[in-house]
Amino acid sequence: MRPFIKLKAMKNSKATNTIFNNNAKVDDAIVITPNRSNDDEHKFRSKGFWIAAVLTVVSVGVLIKLGVWQLDRGNEKLRYEQQLLERSQQSSRALDIVLSDWRGTGLRAQEPSSPQTLNGLKVDIELATPSGLILLLDNQINQGMVGYVIYMLGETQTQNGRKQLLIDLGFVAASNDRRKLPQLGNITLPTNMSGRLYVRSVNPLSQELGLENTTPKRIQNINIQALSQYTGQEVLPFIFQPQSLGSWPYEMLWRPSAMKSEKHFGYSFQWFVMAAVLLFLMLLIGYRYMKQK
């Protein structure tokens, strides 16, 4: 006998349609799913590209703004340095005359003049006494060496009576033991001296005098108001640095500004270069993206 295969009969047409429909759904899923996946991936990449483009534009704008700011600061410092150079070539004047002109400028402007405008002016002073209170300004650096800047409060006669004047006496190195302060001995100055005026930059993080009960007195910042309160006499709002002491044992540091114009111009160039590089990279990525699209 010939073998035969027994087929399972389909009971109705509804079952047949269900089977065919299920097969059709499976077939459709196999064919359509890759296209949908590619479309979703394309949309995701497109969205990511435009987000990156917006962030790049914002970043480039910020970098350019920083570059322009540093450029303006550099030009401002350059004008200031030229002013200091001009003042260094001028002849010195009596302190009283300089003070009178400075206060007169404030009266004409109807607002107090900033002591910063006196930076670099050459003056002649006369001290009432050749010695005074010695102060050591802490945490100063000179050629990689940590130490102090020595200051002395000297009394000088002005048109408005006797005032205290802070006199810069130069840099002295510190010892390895912080408890040991430099031994300066008895410092006496000529009663008549020539030099220049300056105002130290204000530390934005700390402005307190921080006076310690040591010998000599150690301080953390130059705070004219606090010094006036401590001495009980008005201290003039600037510092005098002598230039007529001859062979003085302590090096005079001349730092009228915290940063020179060259550094500002250098920082400005860096910001502009970073902006250009970032913009170039984004344009290159955008070109490749549009080419693939």
**Amino acid at position 262, single letter:** E
Lowest-confidence region among 16-20, 156-160, 179-183: 16-20
Question: What distance in Å separates the CA atoms of residue 249 and residue 217, rounded to the nearest whole number?
Answer: 20
Question: What distance in Å separates the CA atoms of residue 137 and residue 119, rounded to the nearest whole number?
Answer: 20
Domain segments of the chain: what residues? 51-90+259-292, 127-178+188-201+208-250
Q: What is the pLDDT of residues 86-96, one digit of tens each?
A: 988 889 999 99
**pTM for this entry:** 0.71
User: Tokens standing for 226?
Assistant: 């606090």
Residue 5: pLDDT above 70? Answer: no
- C-beta of residue 124 within 8 angstroms of C-beta of residue 93: yes
Q: Which residue from 145, 268, 253 is spatially nearest to 198, judged by alpha carbons? A: 253
Classify residue 4 by burial, with Cβ atoms within 10 Å: 0-12, 13-18, 19+: exposed
Within 89-190, residue ranges assigned H as helices are: 95-108
- C-beta of residue 233 within 8 angstroms of C-beta of residue 280: no
Q: Give the chain's mean pLDDT.
A: 83
Question: What distance in Å separates the CA atoms of residue 234 and residue 160, rounded to the nearest whole number?
Answer: 11
What pLDDT is recorded for position 34?
54
Region 10-16: mean pLDDT is 50
